[in-house]
Amino acid sequence: MIVSALLTSVGINTALCVLFLTLYSVLRKQPSNYEVYLPRLLVEGISKRRSHFNLERLIPSPGWVAKAWNLSEEELYSLAGLDGLVFMRIITFSVKIFTFAGVIGIFLLLPVNCWGNQLQDFDGSNFTNSSLDVFTISNVNSGSNWLWVHFCAVYVVTGFICFLLFYEYKHISSRRISYFYSSKPQPHQFTVLVNSIPASSGSISDSVDSFFKELYPSSYLSHVVVRRTNKIQSLLNDANNMYKRVAQLRPDPTKRKIRHGALSRLFGKRSNHIERYEKKLEEIEENLRLKQSEASLAGEARAAFVFFRTRFAAEATFHLQQSVNPTQWITELAPEPRDVYWPFFSESFIRRWISKLVVVLVSIVFTILFLVPVVFVQGLTNLSQLKALLPFLTSLLTIKFVSQIITGYLPSLILQLFLLLVPPAMEFLSTIQGYISHSDIERSATTKVLWFTIWNVFFATAFSGSILSMMSTILDPKVIPGTLAVVVPAQASFFITYVVTSGWTSVSSELFRIIPYILNLITRLFTTPDDEFELPYMPYHKDIPRVLFFGLLGITYFFQAPLILPFVLAYFCLAYVIYRNQFMNVYVPRYETAGKFWPTVHNSMIFSLVLMQIIAVGIFALKKLSMASTMTLPLPVLTLLFNEYCRKRFLPIFVGYSAESLIKKDREDLNDPTMAEFYNNLINAYKDPALVPVQYSSNTDSLSSPLISSA
Amino acid sequence: MIVSALLTSVGINTALCVLFLTLYSVLRKQPSNYEVYLPRLLVEGISKRRSHFNLERLIPSPGWVAKAWNLSEEELYSLAGLDGLVFMRIITFSVKIFTFAGVIGIFLLLPVNCWGNQLQDFDGSNFTNSSLDVFTISNVNSGSNWLWVHFCAVYVVTGFICFLLFYEYKHISSRRISYFYSSKPQPHQFTVLVNSIPASSGSISDSVDSFFKELYPSSYLSHVVVRRTNKIQSLLNDANNMYKRVAQLRPDPTKRKIRHGALSRLFGKRSNHIERYEKKLEEIEENLRLKQSEASLAGEARAAFVFFRTRFAAEATFHLQQSVNPTQWITELAPEPRDVYWPFFSESFIRRWISKLVVVLVSIVFTILFLVPVVFVQGLTNLSQLKALLPFLTSLLTIKFVSQIITGYLPSLILQLFLLLVPPAMEFLSTIQGYISHSDIERSATTKVLWFTIWNVFFATAFSGSILSMMSTILDPKVIPGTLAVVVPAQASFFITYVVTSGWTSVSSELFRIIPYILNLITRLFTTPDDEFELPYMPYHKDIPRVLFFGLLGITYFFQAPLILPFVLAYFCLAYVIYRNQFMNVYVPRYETAGKFWPTVHNSMIFSLVLMQIIAVGIFALKKLSMASTMTLPLPVLTLLFNEYCRKRFLPIFVGYSAESLIKKDREDLNDPTMAEFYNNLINAYKDPALVPVQYSSNTDSLSSPLISSA
């Protein structure tokens, strides 16, 4: 790739970003878009849908940038919880390391790279026509002592990143602990979830009661047995859909009729429809109530939420093996009530274990073989194939412009579409893995998507998509550094443009929220705008892997192609403003894991570092500076030891709380008069939403928004 | 190797074994050898040193075999504890699997192997001159369908072993639990050892007290701070040695003078010596008392034994993270008081971690590079080198018989001598790894010695000692099955003779106790026979790896060279009788881990199985039966899954006890009137032997045997 091409790409993408940002600043002022761009403010009642028109609404303004920029950490914490804060700290952390690495890269490594003449095509007179490779380590002469600059840079940047990682881990640990200290008594702190309750002659409820009363007579409070509600769940969904349809058709006197059902009036026989639907709704409701009462009587799953008087008792129950048989009475800390994932409540040890194994296997196979069908589908899109498949397009395809677009963009579009499917697919895999909370599912999906991205974008690009050569390299550890040193630097210019195109675009489209915007447009055409809408949750399993992947690109390429650093830095600065804005205006926290995402981030950074160091070992050997290559070898070992130390020093904090803090919190509650009431309410906290009595048909307005309550 | 050579070897070794056993049955009847062969009975007062002579003492008798054979499991348990029982179960387990595999091997695989004519040198007329390879899988024709018999045998035997492994794990788990249920209150059940106590302004003792009183006001009882006693320990050793010397020289009126100091009378100036030694002893004693009182006042290590009122509280303290900082106040279950390893009491988290890393690294390097110096030293022992080094031997070395012995046996002798050093070396490495109990040290050493043996005997033999080719095979996972399939079967006849020679000899020399016997002979020459002698402990870290290694040989070779099976079976039958005899007469339990050795045994069996299966994959591929090779591939995966299930199902039982059993035991104690006294004695249970007041000089007879008390 030549410099002018890069400049063009940067120009186009900067323009696109500015356009997106400008458009956004206009669109967010339109009341009809509040649901898309300011749902939080709408729900909180800060922004009202104003219908009167003024000119200001059409003028782009940068006020929101300043607002997002000035948001303090404490404000962010109150808006997005500790998880949101951790997410933003990934970005600030990345900004710090790429500023540091950027200074070293641009002012030290870049001149050294340009100085070399290995590639011998640097043409000072025609700067824009020279290849980007001139700026990479490939241009440094083999055996040149200038490579020691790179060597030092690798050591210094590794040291800096490890130093920051340590302090970041420490900071987030202390935030996590202070979050716990400052928290009010919360149901999940007093609760454990017991799985694999052995079958006995009596009911599950009785055996739970006798088991825990026997063991912990003083601290055991009560319990709630989980019930199998899969069928009720699907009935409830049917009822909700039906209710929506009815509510949409029924004339609503309390709402203005101006924009009401703009298109629905085109269909006739409205009252007929309503009657039919209402009848159906009644039937479903009847059925639902029947099933609910059935489930309340029978349908006990072999799992229960067990409540204790103190946090310490709950935590001790979690850590200790309860039964003589370690595969029975398995305890885990209960998730927050809002965080419980009720549908796939798998209760037996052996089923959970097998489903976990199967899901891990499927994820690995999916990750490794993902490119096979994609390449196949891409192969179908060449012109002759298309003409054969869709003969009526032949005339269109002969136009040069159209055929260029198709051959140029279609394969990449297909890849992008397939990639869009990955986060939901991984989330689905995680749900059937046996996790009991949304947060665990998303954390597991985050890891899966991250590995998927690293394998299918980083390694697949480096190895030009040849799965066989990727696999054979992995199976032969000796050749890994050498092979990586050949294939990775060769893709430097690709990844620089990748950061500019995919990175910048993805983050501005995050701001623009294209899909919700289009959905909102469509919905407004067909339905009445009602005040009930689901507040969006931050899709951590989609965004964390993406942000981490750009971090990986920056770290692995910083010494090979320092030119990537300004673009990565720009990406993170953009992300900084945009995600803060989104946390402020769009996303609500769905759960609070109190920073449990950080260990994943830490591991990803360590992986990036080790990958970078292994590539460095290979490159120094390739550049015939074997001394530097050998002297880089201790670096991955030291990094892994550092990681091991961090695991021992910080990871336990993210698993459970210490006896010291638990007992301190328990003591505080001793004199709290509201605790009696809290204990009484505990049992109601963990109630399967599928078992909450519903009432749609008789009075739809009294209905307390089933959509939001099930959210 | 030809059949006749094997027959010769078997003949010689059988004769040797019979000789050993006969000699043993005579020697054990001599009163002077009771210390070596019947120390247990001597201490228990069952056998007295009878000095009157009778003829019966010189006639070999097989009575001891019958006694050992008839010993019931419960008797063995009462004699050798659960650990001894577990050790014997390794042997009975092996007898079971090799009986089963032997029947399949001899009656099914052996005829199939002989039937083939790949090697084409089976000469029915001259049976004893044909190669042993005729009986191995190498003789089966390539691509022959008869190989499916081997394939089925691999599946059936794997299934049988896994089935037995499961039931053995289950049986030992249940024995462990019933051991706990039937145990009296023991100090270590109520105690945790706290490490890495943070430095504070006050004394360690105060901060332990305030920390645990604050957290567990109701269950915390008291504590004992560990003190640094390394210096005192060495002084104590000096004093002990001096005391021994004095006691030996001093005329003792209570003892008969007939054999007293047979050689010591040769030395003159006895009274002078005694005076000088006694003065020295007094000096050392003075110094010792001073240091002891110093250590009692200062010299606190950052570790303490903390006592609780209930077993549950101790176990909960162990499982829960105590402090907000997970690297401080680290808790572990206390070992039995007799099991504590006092000298290298490492107390800080980071020092223990680093020493562990270093020791693991050193063990790996030691294991991998062990053969290098051995081969070097062996190289020094060729005749010309010896003549150059020791010129005075030249005349001797020219005798053909002597030179044959030297060139034939010296290299192997050197290897054996080096190998003898391995268990103590590994035990030493484990001691500095930071373990706090003898049992942990021995368990860790067991694993190290096992890996050492597998690497340096099994793989080094297979790869003919080429470390480079071993390493390069390991670093290239793809070629492992193929390489193993070539090199392992080639050593079949070597390992058959190895079982016969090394196996049979090692187990009969275990019975014969050559080294203690010689030591005893020497001691009797120079000193008075006193009643104080150290009872020997079973060296698990030496014997378990050896027994497991013969299991590995049997499992890996059973389908390749079924001829090995009768010899392995004979080894285990011999071991069965001999070890039972030793547990009955010789060894006393040093500690009771209640079966914690079994997980190591289980893992070793799983490793043997997987190794066998990988070799099978390679051999079937080599024999051009790729269908069988592919169909063997699921077997290692299934075996590892089975292992994973066993880990989940049984391993937690070997780490701690369940809340259910702990609370049950605690309840039983509630009504026990002796508990108050037990609590009072707890604090004295964990007393560093180096701090026990000593008194040698004034009255040596009142001394309660410092040798035995420090043992």
**Could you write out the three-class secondary structure of B492-538?**
HHHHHHHHHHHHHHHHHHHHHCHHHHHHHHHHHHHCCCCCCCCCCEC
The total domain count for chain B is 2
Q: What is the pLDDT of residue B51?
A: 57
Look at A321 and B656 and tell me if their CB atoms are within 8 Å.
yes
Whether A603 shows a pLDDT value over 70: the answer reads yes
Give yes or no: residues B116 and B129 share one domain: yes
CA B654 to CA B660: how far, in whole Å? 15
Measured in angstroms, the CA of B528 and the nearest CA of chain A are apart by 54
Rounded distance, CA B298 to CA B300, Å?
Answer: 6
Per-residue HEC secondary structure of A9-43 comes to: HHHHHHHHHHHHHHHHHHHCCCHHHHHHHCHHHHH
Are residues A106 and A245 both part of a single domain?
A: no
Q: Which of A320, A353, A475 sits opposite B316 (nearest CB)?
A: A320
Q: What is the pLDDT of residue B381?
A: 65
For A107, which DSSP code? I
d(CA B433, CA B440): 10
Cα B553 from Cα B551, distance rounded (Å):
5
Residue A13 placed within a domain = yes
Residue A348 has pLDDT above 50, yes or no: yes
- Note whether B197 and B108 are same-domain residues: no
User: How deeply is B166 buried, as exposed, middle or buried, from its count of CB atoms within 10 A (0-12, 13-18, 19+)?
Assistant: middle
Q: Tell me how many residue pairs between chain A and chain B have CB atoms under 8 A apart.
A: 100
Q: Dihedral (C-alpha) A490, A495, A496, A497: value to the nearest 10 degrees? A: 120
| B303-362 pLDDT per residue, tens | 899 999 999 999 999 999 999 999 999 999 999 999 998 876 766 888 889 999 999 999
Q: What is the pLDDT of residue A102?
A: 94
User: Domain range for residue B273?
Assistant: 187-348
Q: By percentage, how much of chain B surpasses pLDDT 90?
A: 38
Domain match, A10 and A152 both: yes
Does residue A29 form part of some domain?
yes
B133 and B236 together in one domain: no
Q: Using pLDDT thresholds of 50, 70 and 90, give the confidence band for residue A27.
A: confident
A258 pLDDT more than 60: no
Q: For the segment A136-156, what is each residue's pLDDT rounded down to a tens digit? A: 888 888 888 889 999 999 999
- Residues whose CB is less than 8 angstroms from the CB of residue B491 and which lie 6 or more positions away in sequence, other chains included: B461, B462
Strand A330-333 and strand A220-227: pairing? Answer: unpaired
Are residues A207 and A288 both part of a single domain? Answer: yes
- Residue type at position A59: I
Assigned domain for A488 exists: no
> What is the 8-class DSSP label of residue A336?
P
Instruction: Give the 3-state secondary structure of residue B623.
Output: coil
| Residue A212 reports pLDDT greater than 80 | yes
Q: What is the pLDDT of residue B641?
A: 95
Q: Is residue A380 domain-resident?
A: no
> Is residue A308 within 8 Å of A331, Cβ to Cβ?
no
Is the ipTM, as predicted for this complex, more than 0.90?
A: no
Q: Using 50, 70 and 90 to split pLDDT, how confident is the model at A531?
A: low
The answer as to whether B558 is a domain residue is: yes
Q: Are residues A169 and A192 in the same domain?
A: no
The fraction of chain B above a pLDDT of 70, given in percent, is 87
**Sign of the C-alpha dihedral, residues B632, B634, B637, B640?**
negative
Which residue, among B448, B465, B459, B451, has the nearest Cα to B412 in the 3D structure? B465
CA distances from B292 to A156, B338, B650, B690, B697 (A): 50, 20, 45, 8, 17
End-to-end CA separation in angstroms for chain A:
49
What is the percent of chain A with per-residue pLDDT over 70, rounded to a whole number?
87
- Among A239-253, A624-638, B641-655, name the one with the lowest average pLDDT: A239-253
- B195 three-class SS: strand
Residues 6+ apart with CB under 8 A from A359: A429, A430, A432, A433
Phi, psi (degrees; rounded to nearest 5) at A116:
-65, 165
**CB spacing of B324 vs A478 below 8 angstroms:** no
User: What is the CA B509 to chain-centroid distance, rounded?
Assistant: 16
* pLDDT surpasses 60 at B472: yes
- Among B208, B319, B330, pick the best mutation site for testing chain A contact (most A Cβ within 10 A): B319
| Structural contact between residues A544 and A446, judged by C-beta atoms closer than 8 angstroms | yes
Cβ–Cβ under 8 Å, residues A304 and A334: no
Residues on chain A touching B322 (C-beta within 8 angstroms): 658-660
Tell me the chain A residues in contact with residue B652 when contact means C-beta distances shorter than 8 Å.
Answer: 321, 326
Q: Which residue in the block uniquely carries the two structure tokens 């026509």?
A: A129
**Lowest-pLDDT choice from A268-277, B252-261, B359-368, B587-596:** B252-261
Could you report the per-residue pLDDT of B384-429, keeping only the tens digit for each?
777 777 777 777 777 777 777 677 677 777 888 888 889 999 999 9
Q: At residue A474, does pLDDT exceed 50?
A: yes
Least confident range from A399-408, B65-74, B566-575: namely A399-408
**B43 in Cβ contact with B535 (< 8 Å):** yes
Element holding A488 (H helix, E strand): helix A480-490
Residues of B in contact with A666 (CB under 8 A): none
- Which of the pair, A437 or A267, is modelled with greater confidence? A437
Residue of chain B minimizing CA distance to A350: B645
Picking from A465, A550, A474, the residue whose alpha carbon sits closest to that of residue A507 is A550
Q: What letter represents residue B123's amino acid?
A: D
Contact B658 A322 (CB under 8 A): yes
Biggest distance spanned by C-alpha atoms of chain B: 90
pLDDT at B152 (0 to 100): 95
Assess whether A539 and A650 both reside in one domain: yes
Give dist(CA B118, CA A94) in Å, integer.
66
Q: If pLDDT is split at 50, 70 and 90, which confidence band does B375 have?
A: confident
CB contacts, 8 Å: B475 with chain A: 476-478
Point out the residue among A323, A326, A661 whose CB comes nearest to the CB of B324. A661
CB atoms within 10 A of CB B79: 18
CB contact under 8 A, A658 and B321: yes
**Which of B668, B688, B703 delimits the end of a domain?**
B668
In a domain, A359, yes or no: no
Q: Can you tell me the mean pLDDT for A378-400?
A: 73
CB contact under 8 Å between B319 and A316, yes or no, is yes
Average pLDDT value for chain B: 84
Residue A58's pLDDT is: 77
**Cα A580–chain centre separation:** 16
CA distance A175 to A81: 11
**DSSP code for A224:** E
Smallest Cβ–Cβ distance between B660 and the set A316, A322, A641 belongs to A322
What pLDDT does B82 receive?
92
User: Would you say residue B299 lies in a domain?
Assistant: yes
B301: which 2 tokens?
Answer: 């290590």
Which segments of B239-366 are extended strands (E)? 300-308, 330-333
B143 and B208 together in one domain? no
Q: CA torsion angle for A226, A230, A234, A236 (degrees, to 10)?
A: -20
Alpha-carbon torsion (A337, A339, A345, A346), positive or negative? negative
The dihedral of CA A180, A183, A188, A191: what is its sign?
A: positive
In the chain, the amino acid numbered B428 is: F
Whether B176 and B93 map to the same domain: the answer is yes
Cβ–Cβ gap A658/B315 under 8 Å: no
Question: How would residue B259 be classed by pLDDT, with cut points 50, 70 and 90?
Answer: very low
Residue B263: is its pLDDT beyond 80?
Answer: no
**In this structure, what are the phi and psi dihedrals at residue B220, rounded to the nearest 5 degrees?**
-70, 135
Q: Which residues of A touch B324 (CB under 8 A)?
A: 177, 653, 658, 660-661
Residue A298 has pLDDT above 70, yes or no: no
Search chain B and give the residue with CA nearest A216.
Answer: B663
Instruction: For residue B497, name the pLDDT band (cuts at 50, 70, 90).
Output: confident
Q: What is the pLDDT of residue A255?
A: 47
In the three-class reduction of DSSP (H, G, I as helix; E, B as strand; rest coil), residue B539 is classed as coil
Interatomic CA distance for residues B337 and B688, integer angstroms: 9
pLDDT band at A691 (very low <50, low <70, confident <90, very high): confident
pLDDT tens for each residue of A185-210: 999 999 999 988 888 888 888 999 99
Are B653 and A357 in contact (CB < 8 Å)?
A: no
Q: Is residue A140 within 8 Å of residue A147, measured between CB atoms?
A: yes
Average pLDDT, stretch A345-364? 87
Across the interface, which of B320, B353, B656 has its CB nearest the CB of A315? B320
The vertex-B354 CA angle with B350 and B356, nearest 5°, equals 115
Whether residue B700 is predicted with pLDDT greater than 50 in this model: the reply is no
pLDDT above 90 covers a percentage of chain A that reads: 37
Closest CA to A416 of A501, A339, A478: A501
Residue A552 pLDDT exceeds 80: yes
Say which residue, B349 or B55, is predicted with more confidence. Answer: B349
- Give the chain A residue whose CA is nearest to the CA of B315: A320
The torsion region of residue A203 among left (phi > 0), alpha (psi -120 to 50) and beta comes to beta
Would you say residue A437 lies in a domain?
A: no
Q: What residues of chain B have any CB closer than 8 angstroms to a CB in chain A?
A: 177, 214-215, 315-317, 319-327, 349, 353, 357, 472, 475-478, 641, 645, 648-653, 656-661, 663
pLDDT of residue A55: 72
Check whether A211 has a pLDDT greater than 70: yes
Both A343 and A198 in a single domain? yes
Instruction: Return the residue of A nearest to B313 by Cα.
Output: A316
Residue B327 and residue B241 share a domain: yes
C-alpha B277/C-alpha B269 separation (Å) is 12
Predicted local distance difference test score (pLDDT) of residue A610: 96
Q: Give the pLDDT confidence of A72-109 residue by residue, as tens digits.
A: 888 999 888 999 999 999 999 999 999 999 999 999 99
Instruction: Say if the Cβ atoms of A353 and B475 lie within 8 Å.
Output: no
pLDDT tens digits, residue range B32-49? 778 788 888 777 776 665
Q: What backbone phi and psi angles, to 5 degrees, belong to B38? A: -135, 40
Distance from CA of B348 to the nearest CA of A (A): 13
Contact in structure between B72 and B88 (CB atoms under 8 Å): no
How far is the CA of B637 from the CAs of B138, B168, B632, B659, in angstroms? 26, 21, 10, 34
Q: How far apart (Å, rounded) are the C-alpha atoms in residues A221 and A209?
A: 9
